[in-house]
Structure formats: C-alpha cells, structure tokens
C-alpha cells in the first residue's frame, strides 16, 4: 500500500523528477526549482520601484515606476483607519500589466506583472507598515496619467 503511494507521488512541475514540497499547502515544485522560481520573481519584482510621494500620519501615496518607463505607470494610495489598511492601486495603460512577468519552461503557474506588483506592495508597503489585515482595490486607468486639479477656496 505505502509503496504504491510513493510511486504515485506527484513530481515537480519544472524538473519532472524530484518530489514536490513547495509551496506549503499547494505543493507543485521541488525545493530546488522553487528556489529558482522565487529568484526569478525577485529579479522581475526589482524592476518595479515604489516612490513615496505623500506621507501623512495615517495615509501615504506612492508613484509606481518600472525600469522600462521614464514616467510612473501606476499609483498607490494607502489609508490606515486604525484597524486595517485600505489600499487603492491605479494602473495606467502605459504598461503591459497583463503580460506574463517571466517564463519558465513547463511552469504550470503563469504570473502577470500586475500580480507580481501586488507581491512588491506587500513587501515594501504593507509589511513595513506593520502588516495585519489589508484590503486592496485595483483600478485600471483609461488615461496614461491622472488629470490634476489644483485649487484653493
């Protein structure tokens, strides 16, 4: 019984030879291939830069840059209501958000740039803020950059 179970054990999606152990709860990769996948994701994620533009006591605004573009390709607003973090992400059409962020041979999991940016936001904004419960709304902007209005009453 147990030997049959061993033979049926799923093999790593990338190398097809080693047993799966990663990620926990949704095991599809062996440790070596998982490390490789994470390393590739880190390189792709580093192409994004979040620059803080406004810093208030319970709110922040960031402009999102990608190394291939001079102008920001998105913006992020963070509001802390004292309990949870509320994030609003606007993605400008100047960047190909839905494109596959990287390609690994026979990888069953395809991740878009937009998905990878959420990882960057978690690491660079949510975790430094103290983590906890957060909510993210994503808006796709139809215009390449926001319209700005300045005034005083």
Beta-bridge mates of residue 137: 88
Q: Per rule CB under 5 A, is residue 12 in the interface with Zn ion?
A: yes
Q: Per rule CB under 5 A, is residue 20 in the interface with Zn ion?
A: no
14 versus 91: smaller Cβ distance to Zn ion: 14
Interatomic CA distance for residues 86 and 16, integer angstroms: 41
Nearest to 129, CA basis, from 58, 35, 63 = 58
Contact with Zn ion (CB under 5 A) among 22, 28, 33, 126: 33
30 versus 89: smaller Cβ distance to Zn ion: 30
CB distance 153 to 104 below 8 Å: no
81 versus 105: smaller Cβ distance to Zn ion: 105
| Site residues (vs Zn ion, CB under 5 A) | 12, 14-15, 18, 30, 33
């Amino acid at each position: 019984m147990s030997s049959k179970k061993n033979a049926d054990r799923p093999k790593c999606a990338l190398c097809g030879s080693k047993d799966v152990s990663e990620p926990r709860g949704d095991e599809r990769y062996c440790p070596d291939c998982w490390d490789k996948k994470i390393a590739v994701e880190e390189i792709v994620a580093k192409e994004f830069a979040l620059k803080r533009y406004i810093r208030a006591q319970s709110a922040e605004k960031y402009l999102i840059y990608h190394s291939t573009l001079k102008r920001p390709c998105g913006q992020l607003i963070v509001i802390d209501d004292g309990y949870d973090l509320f994030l609003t992400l606007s993605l400008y059409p100047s960047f190909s958000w839905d494109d596959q962020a990287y390609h690994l041979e026979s990888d069953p999991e395809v991740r878009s740039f937009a998905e990878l940016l959420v990882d960057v936001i978690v690491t660079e904004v949510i975790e430094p803020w103290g983590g906890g419960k957060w909510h993210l709304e994503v808006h796709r902007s139809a215009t390449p950059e926001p319209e700005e209005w300045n005034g005083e009453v």
